[in-house]
Amino acid sequence: MELLNQTVVWWHWIVLGLVLLVVEVNTGTFLFAGFAAAALVTGLADLIFATSFTSELLLWSIFSVLAFVLWRNYFKKEPTHSVGQSNEGIGTQGVVTEAIAPHQKGRVRFDAPLLGNTEWFATADEAINAGDRVKVIEVRGQLIKVTKEL
């Protein structure tokens, strides 16, 4: 450890930070950017305060963990609270083209595209005859739940 205290100087940390920045540019993950920033800050701290290698290593570790935690929190995805398709098509109206029995599949052609398509398989809680007008009340993956339009 004494050898490292004597041989590792501030500019070694700066070079390490620059090398890590080059790695970051080639990977594009933003992960190495935090480690590079930590190395640059450690190099500057060693230049200003003339710290020991053990202190520098500790400082670099703390800044690296801090950078990683900040990176993770910044890019953290919000949890998904619902499963399935978008509910933006609720209320869309259409005409039944293939009769729907209770809790059985039928087909509906919608007046406007619903999730990119005008014709969908649909289910209902009640029997609906071909030609009847319906509206969407729920989107269940690849099935659309409809009810008779009054």
pLDDT in tens, 11-54: 999 999 999 999 999 998 888 999 999 999 999 999 999 999 99
**Within a domain: 85:** no
The mean of the pLDDT values for the chain is 87
Asked whether the beta carbons of 60 and 13 are under 8 A apart, the reply is yes
**Within a domain: 87:** no
Where in the sequence is the domain holding 38, given as residue range(s)?
A: 2-75
Residues 61 and 99 in one domain: no
Residues 99 and 71 in one domain: no
- Classified as helix, coil or strand, 46 is helix
Q: What is the pLDDT of residue 43?
A: 95
Domain endpoint, select from 46, 75, 104? 75
Q: What is the pLDDT of residue 78?
A: 66
Q: Which of 12, 4, 68 is nearest to 42 (CA)?
A: 12
**CATH number of the structural domain spanning residue 129:** 2.40.50.140
- Classified as helix, coil or strand, 139 is strand
pTM: 0.52
Tokens of residue 44, six digits: 């500057």
